[in-house]
Amino acid sequence: MRNPGRASLLAAIVALAPQGVHADDLGLRGTIEPELRVFTSSASNPQQRDTDISVSGEVTGKYMWDGGDQSLVVTPFARLDQQDYRRTHWDLREARYGLVMGKWEVRLGFDKVFWGVTEAVHLVDVINQVDIIEDPVKQEVRLGQPMLRLRTTQDFGSFDAFLLPYFRERDFPGPQGRPAYDLPVDMSLTRYESSRQDRHVDGAFRYSNHFGDIDLGLSYFQGTNRDPILTPTLSKDGDPVLAPFYAQMKQASFDVQATKGAWLYKLEGYWRRELGHEYEAATGGIEYTLYGVFGSEGDLGVVAEYALDSRGLMARDPYENDGFLALRWTANDEASTSFLGGAVVDAETGALGFRFKGERRLGDDYRLSLEAYFFGNVPRQDPIYSISDDNYLQFRIARFF
C-alpha cells in the first residue's frame, strides 16, 4: 500500500521547489530504530541502570534540479531515551544547498565530512564534532557542522576549502547515562581559549588524489579543537564535576591507502600545535582479505593496526600506544550479513578492549544489528578507566521506509 504521508510530503516539496522540478527529481528515505542496551556490570553511580531502551529516527529528503547541478538535502535525526535526558536529543545531520559548475562545486549549510582510512581510530577526522551520546566508544557518529565548502576536481587532483563559522560543543551523558565518566561533565562550565568562544571562525583545506592503486589525502585545519580538555572542578552546588575547555589548534595531517591485490595498506597521522605545545600521532596497519573462504561466497578479512601518540598517557585520545587486531566477515548474501570483531591492547598499561558488531537484513525493510563492548585489566591511569565498568550489549532493529 502506498504511504499517504510520504506522498503528501513529496507533493509539498514539488509545490515549493523551483519551477521545472518533477517528482522524479525528489527522494525521501528514512529509518525508525528501537534500541536496547544491556550493561553486564554494576554501575558506579546509583542513579544509573543496567538496561536502557530508546528509539531513534532519521529522515533524508533530497531534491535536484537543473539536471542535477543544484540540490537541496535535509537530514534531521532524533532520539528518545528512557533513562538519560541528555540522550533525548535531535540534530540536523545535513541541511545543505549544493551547486555544481563544471569542475567546481559549492555546498552551503549543515554538512558532514569524513577524513581517514584506518579502522580502529580516525585521527585526522576533525571537521565534525563527535556525537558521543550516540556512539560513546568508537566515536564515529558525527554532528552536522555549519560550513561553506568549495571543491574543485582537476587533472592534478581534488582540492577542498572549508569555512566553518560556528563551533558545536560536545554533548555528554547526564547523571543517568551510561557509558559515562565517573565524574559528570558540567556543560554550564564550558570555557574556550578564543575570546569569540563558539563563534570563532575555523578553516580547513584538503588535497586528495589517486595515484594508480594509491589514494592520498593531505589536510590542514586551524580553529577550535573538537576534543575538549576535561578539568576536575566544583559545580555551582559544590559537587565535583568535569569542566570542558576547548583550545585552539593548528593541525597538518595526511592519510594514505594502497590496494595491492588482496592486501590493503593504511596509514594516517598528524602534527598538531595546541596551547603552545607540539605533538604528533599516527596510526596504520594492513588488511588482508581471503575471498570465497571455506568454499563459501563469503570473504574473511584480517585487520591489524597500531596507534601511537607522542604525548603517551597524557593524550586525551585513548589510542596512545595501542595495537588492534580484528576479523571482518562479509557473507555476500542477499541479507548483507556481516560482522567485525576485534581486540585493542594498550602496550603501555596492558588494558584490553573488545568490540563486536554484526548486521543482517531481514527482508527488504528491516535490519537487525548487535554490538558488544567489553573492557578488561584497565588500570586507574589508563584513559578509558572511567568507562571500564560500562561493558554493554546493544541490540537494534531498523525499519526502513
pLDDT in tens, 146-190: 999 999 999 999 999 999 999 999 999 998 999 988 899 999 999
DSSP 3-state assignment of 10?
Answer: helix
The residues with which 153 forms a beta bridge, in sequence order, are 158
The pLDDT tens digits for 295-349 are: 889 999 999 999 999 998 788 888 889 999 999 999 999 999 999 999 999 999 9
Backbone φ, ψ for residue 66 (5° rounding): 55, 45
Architecture of domain 25-400: Beta Barrel (2.40)
Residue 179 C-alpha cell reads as 557509558
What is the pLDDT of the chain when averaged over all its residues?
92
What region does 241 belong to: left with phi over 0, alpha with psi -120 to 50, or beta? Answer: beta
Domain boundaries, the chain: 25-400
Backbone φ, ψ for residue 178 (5° rounding): -140, 145
Per-residue pLDDT for 13 more than 50?
no
